[in-house]
Amino acid sequence: MVAMGGSAHWSSRFTFIMASVGFAVGLGNIWRFPYVTGENGGSAFVLIYLFCAFCIGVPCLVSELMIGRRGQHSPPESMARVAEESGLSQRWRVVGGMGVFTAFAIAITYAVVVGWVLSYLAKALMTGFVGVDASSSSQAFDALLTDSGGMMFWTLVGNVLVGAIIFSGVKGGIERAVNIMMPLMFTLLVGLSIYNMFTGGFMETLEWLFKPDFSKVGPDTLLAAISQAFFSIGVAMGGMMTYGAYLPNDFSITRAATVVVFADTLVALLAGFVVFPAVFHYGLDIASGSGLIFQTLPVAFAQMPGGHLFGVLFFVMLSVAGITSMVGLLESATAWFGERFSLNRHMSSAVVVAAVTLCSVASVLSYSTWADYRVAGKNFNEIAAIPEQILLPLGGLLIAAFAGWFMLRSHSEDELRTDSVVYTVWRVLVRYLAVPAIAFILVSGLI
């Protein structure tokens, strides 16, 4: 069988790892993981998170990659083919379709945020945030949100970059991009972390991330760890299943999934050493969420020695994280659209990126002109977030249940090609830990 009706396969394990980590590591990782860690007991939370990441995240990622490689098509068609092989209804394709739809919905609003990052990268290059204080930084971000034309321009720039990568194919586009961009991002993370060791706030960050505080550990901590592990790795968005379809048969899925989860966790921890020393050193608001990047950190860049260069490198790093995540989100839709309508990659990628760009216009306007237009009390961006909140955990639950309970054992054994102990561990974890844990996330979110 050949992936997506063509001959696309990853040329090396390294490239696949880079692409998968690039998809998994998004803008939320840069600030959310370190913040959630500190709020939930430091290293006590890290230990719980690591357990969840490797005992829930890895089995789910293995399941999705396995179905992708077995099906060798877009997520809906892969689910249908693997289900049919196991004597099940082809209606399982709906689960793959859910992933593609969810990824597309996420990409609509995510593209706008990537536009913000590119806009701030331009500001960092031109001004270095010189003279910025808390008031002017907040005003600048508010001005960005009301500047619909400017937001549309930077959103378009981001989408064109993403589209160019997908348009060029797996080897000529995605592989070439991630082989340059991901090592660059890792280098920047390490370099900026080392820089922060000498600028103040580093010891406070170490304490925030790694000082165990078991008094903060409770049921909410467990939910936070499970949710962070599940959402951070990027399962049930179609991207990993699509990337799995490009895996050659001699790739070890279990080893690859373990490396991806480890690298994703490492990036999240390194991000803490990049973001939070400045926050502690300059007494900034650590709980400012996504505003930490766009409203709080520019104030620190304006004050710190070498802040101009630091700010440029920081937003280059964020741009890489955003663009590689967008590539993963839209690759599954591109694969499905081309397969469904018998289009070549160039045409399908152009249509998908154009559709996301048009929908992103509504997202942009919802920050200003359309802010008061609501359906059931929700504006466009809040409605676009519903698939992520509901369909993402539901899709993950169904994928894990399918791989662990419905897919023929002989087929999953054939794909994983690992020793009996490793296979048994995966099967037990996906059946008896991952499925209940994801159900817990889904029910908790609905409640």
Reported as a single tens digit per residue, the pLDDT across 216-266 is 898 889 899 999 998 889 999 999 999 999 999 999 999 999 999 999 999
Residue 323 belongs to domain spanning: 3-446
What is the C-alpha to C-alpha distance for residues 332 and 339, in angstroms, rounded to an integer? 11
Three-state DSSP class for 13? Answer: helix
Handedness of CA 362, 387, 262, 178 (dihedral sign): negative
pLDDT of 69 > 90? The answer is yes
CB 23 within 8 A of CB 240: yes
- For the chain, what is the domain count? 1
pLDDT of 6 > 50? The answer is no
Q: What does the pLDDT average to over 42-46?
A: 93
Q: How high is the pLDDT of residue 284? A: 86
Q: How high is the pLDDT of residue 286? A: 84
Reported as a single tens digit per residue, the pLDDT across 374-394 is 998 899 999 999 999 999 999
pLDDT of 321 > 90? The answer is yes
Say which amino acid occupies 296: T
pLDDT of 10 > 90? The answer is yes
Q: How high is the pLDDT of residue 199? A: 86
Cα angle 433, 434, 436; round to 5: 70
Reported as a single tens digit per residue, the pLDDT across 331-372 is 999 999 999 999 999 999 999 999 999 999 999 999 999 988
Q: At what angle do helices 176-196 and 253-281 cross, to 10 degrees?
A: 40
pLDDT of 309 > 90? The answer is yes
> What confidence category does residue 1 fall into, taking pLDDT thresholds of 50, 70 and 90?
very low
Q: How high is the pLDDT of residue 147? A: 96
Average pLDDT taken over every residue of the chain: 93
Q: How high is the pLDDT of residue 48? A: 94
Q: How high is the pLDDT of residue 287? A: 80
User: DSSP letter string over 150-215?
Assistant: HHHHHHHHHHHHHHHHHHTHIIIIIIHHHHHHHHHHHHHHHHHHHHHTTSS-HHHHHHHHHS--GG
What is the C-alpha to C-alpha distance for residues 250 and 286, in angstroms, rounded to an integer? 45
Tell me the CATH number at 339: 1.20.1740
Q: What does the pLDDT average to over 193-211?
A: 92
pTM of the predicted model as reported, rounded to 2 decimal places: 0.94
> What confidence category does residue 5 fall into, taking pLDDT thresholds of 50, 70 and 90?
very low
Phi/psi of residue 378, each to 5°?
Answer: -120, 140
Phi/psi of residue 375, each to 5°?
Answer: -120, 120
Q: How high is the pLDDT of residue 445? A: 83
Percent of the chain with pLDDT over 70: 98
What is the C-alpha to C-alpha distance for residues 75 and 337, in angstroms, rounded to an integer? 11
Q: What does the pLDDT average to over 136-148?
A: 94
Burial label for 376, CB within 10 Å (0-12, 13-18, 19+), is exposed
